[in-house]
Chain A
Amino acid sequence: MNIKLKALTKSLWVFHAAASPCNNCDIEILDVLTPRHDVERFGITLAGSVRHADVLLVTGVPNYKSKGILKRLYEQAPKPCLVIAIGSCACGRIMFRESYNSPCPVDEVIPVDAYVPGCPPKPEAIIAGVVKLIEKVKHTTSKV
């Protein structure tokens, strides 16, 4: 495991990109940071800019306007960067599949490392997703 990947398993800084969500997943992400779940204990905190982030949390179904911006955000993030799709919309577009303003799911815009389904996923599920992803990174030898 190289040093960059090793660093990625501790104190993740997350950036939260809302690609046309309904807000609920976004609120649950903030909920994970507040006192009941309090993942700030483990050094996980919201980064103000994607350039400081280790993890990109994507919520919602990208539309024509947010699709390009999402791609640009991923390009701006320092690599290696992990991407987690939070919520059923980001995982599989659920009922917005037939919408005229939903060109493709998140994983066709940027590579996704972990999927957390649920509408919205409970904070516990989001934490479980992050823990599993860290486990995965620990057992990877190549670049994520």
Chain B
Amino acid sequence: MSHKVVVPIGPYHPLQEEPEYFRLYVEGEKVVDIDIVIGYLHRGIEKLSESKHFDQVAFLVERICGICSNSHPIAYCQAMEDLAGIQVPEKALYIRTIIAELERIHSHLLWLGLAGHFIGYNTVWMWAWKYREPVLDMFEMISGNRNHYAMMKIGGVRRDILDEDIPALKKTLDDLVPIVAMFKGAVMDDPVIQSRLKGVGILTKQQAIDWCVVGPTARASGLNMDLRRDDPYAAYDMVNWKVIVQEEGDIFAKTVVRILELGESISIIRQCLDKMPKGEFDANVKQIPAGVGIGRIEAPRGECFHYVKSDGTNRPIRHKIRAPSYMNVASNKVGAVGGTISDAAITLAAVDPCYCCTERTAVIEKSSDRKILNGFDLIKLSQDKTEALKERMGHGTIK
């Protein structure tokens, strides 16, 4: 007779940079159930937003998440523009697109590095983060800060992209193209990575629909959905690009979707830099009327939704935020159950969860008398498995 063993992971563990607590129920090596306890990052942003005036809220929502620190402000600004019926100048739309796509590149490279780390390829981690630095340099050149760019404001953008900066930006983008090609080759042609990621953590098309996943997680399961095309905002309908869709639904497909999206993002930014018109980049909004507005955008992780209600004063009376990871994290239940413990590390990370974004509600659990271990052993287990695969395939040990 088999008996269930509980493997607690977290909340403080090196599996991810954020605290969250997973409880894996295992029978032998097999994961039979999983509980996810979050709430370690709840800061009461929706309530705080009601105490700030409309311009301050843009800075507040920026600090929901450090990785999508452009997605939330852009969705909030679109909600406000929808509420007040503001026409955004065309140049601002192009600048918004450039910033949003730069953010997608930096976010996907970040995920690729962490995923590499989880399966024991620290080289992938170091390389992906090395090549992420030029992207942050571009942000610094445009906005003055590496993260938290503070570029979005209601009715436009806060800063212009100067003409004299454009050649340097294009040069950095050109340098990124061979790097993306290298990652494509290094990850997609590597037999060890393939055997580690193919067929692991599968989320079928029907499951993806049932669990309402969004973003690259959905597109890797064959759902052809992307808000940038389906409900165009900023300048996405003025440039040529295509939506990347894979059918398999496993972690390999999620990796491929993200790597191929890097190439599309570079192409979008290049076109925007070429087509960007001259002129105003801010509509100079003075008054916000009473009403409601919604804004939704495609963040690097999926659809990000903001709802703002105003009563004609200078503060929102209700601000609702739904971040993409809210939908994606729950699908871990399908992805991880049925797999082995050593695959759990990468499966839990594969949806690129962002708990900072997700924690809009505080659920405080009282039964905290269980001993909490860290997930170090889990990563070790995952890295050992890759090591064993490498040896079996005659790659020798690569540290």
Please report A residues at the B interface, Cβ cutoff 8 Å: 16-31, 34-36, 46, 48-50, 60-61, 63-66, 69, 73, 95-96, 98-102, 119-120, 122
A24-B148, A69-B12 known; A48 vs B374 contact (CB < 8 Å): yes
A-B contact pairs, 9 of them (CB 8 A): A16-B14, A19-B40, A22-B63, A23-B65, A30-B17, A31-B129, A35-B126, A61-B43, A100-B47
Q: Given the complex, which residues of A lie within 8 Å of B17, measured CB to CB?
A: 16, 18, 23, 26-27, 29-30
How far is B130's CA from A143's CA once the two chains are assembled, in angstroms? Answer: 38
B1 at the interface (CB under 8 A from A): no
A99 to B133, CA, bound (A): 33
Using Cβ atoms and an 8 Å threshold, which residues of chain A touch B14?
16, 46, 48
Q: Is the CB of A99 within 8 A of B66?
A: no
Residues in B whose Cβ lies below 8 Å from that of A122 = 146
Q: Please name 14 further chain A to chain B contacts, defined as beta carbons within 8 Å, in addition to the given A48-B13, A63-B41, sorted by A numbering.
A: A18-B12, A18-B19, A26-B18, A27-B66, A27-B110, A34-B130, A50-B12, A63-B40, A65-B39, A66-B11, A66-B41, A100-B44, A101-B42, A120-B147
Of the residues A26, A50, A95, contact of B48 by C-beta under 8 Å:
A95
Which residues of chain B are near A120, meaning CB under 8 Å?
66, 146-148
- Bound-state CA distance A138–B69 (Å) is 39
Instruction: Find chain A residues with CB under 8 A from B41 CB.
Output: 18, 20-21, 60, 63, 66
Q: How far is the CB of B389 from chain A (nearest CB, A)?
A: 22
- Return chain A residues, CB-CB under 8 Å to B110: 27
Query: Are A28's CB and B147's CB within 8 A?
Result: yes
**B residues near A, CB below 8 A?**
11-14, 17-19, 39-45, 47-48, 51-52, 56, 59-60, 63-67, 69, 110, 113, 125-127, 129-130, 133, 146-148, 354, 356, 362, 364, 374, 376, 379-380
Enumerate chain B residues within 8 angstroms of A35, measured Cβ to Cβ. Answer: 126-127, 129-130
Known contacts: A18-B18, A48-B14, A48-B376. The answer to whether A24 contacts B147 by CB under 8 A is yes
| A contact residues around B127 at 8 Å (CB) | 35
Give chain B residues whose Cβ lies under 8 Å from the Cβ of A21.
18, 41, 66, 356
In the docked arrangement, what's the CA distance between A98 and B44, Å?
A: 9
Query: Are A66 and B147 closer than 8 Å at their CB atoms?
Result: no
Q: What residue in chain B is nearest A95 (Cβ atoms)?
A: B60
Min C-beta distance of B183 to chain A, whole Å: 15
Contacts of B66 on A, CB cut-off 8 Å? 21-27, 120
Set of chain B residues within 8 Å of A95, measured between Cβ atoms: 48, 52, 56, 59-60, 63
CB distance from A109 to the nearest CB of B (A): 14
Contact B133 A36 (CB under 8 A): yes
Docked Cα-Cα span, A99 to B60, in Å, equals: 12
CB distance from B118 to the nearest CB of A (A): 13
Chain A contacts of B146 at CB under 8 A? 28, 120, 122
Are B11 and A69 in contact, with the CB atoms below 8 A? yes
Residues of A within 8 A of B45 (CB): 99
**Closest-CB distance, B386 to chain A (whole angstroms):** 17
Our pick among B11, B364, B374, B380 for the contact of A64 (Cβ within 8 Å) is B364
B331 → chain A, closest Cβ, in Å?
A: 21
A60, B376: Cα distance in complex, Å: 22
B147 shortest CB reach to chain A, Å: 5
Rounded to whole Å, the gap between the CB of A65 and the closest CB of chain B is 5
Interface contact A27-B42, CB-CB below 8 Å: no
- Cβ contact within 8 Å between A27 and B67: yes
Query: Which of B42, B65, B380 has most A Cβ within 10 Å?
Result: B42
Point out the residues of chain A lying under 8 angstroms from B40, CB to CB: 18-20, 63, 65-66, 69
Complex Cα–Cα for A126 and B364 (A): 33
| Chain A residues whose CB sits within 8 angstroms of the CB of B113 once the complex forms | 34
A90 to B127, CA, bound (A): 30
In the bound assembly, the distance between CA atoms of A27 and B356 in angstroms comes to 13
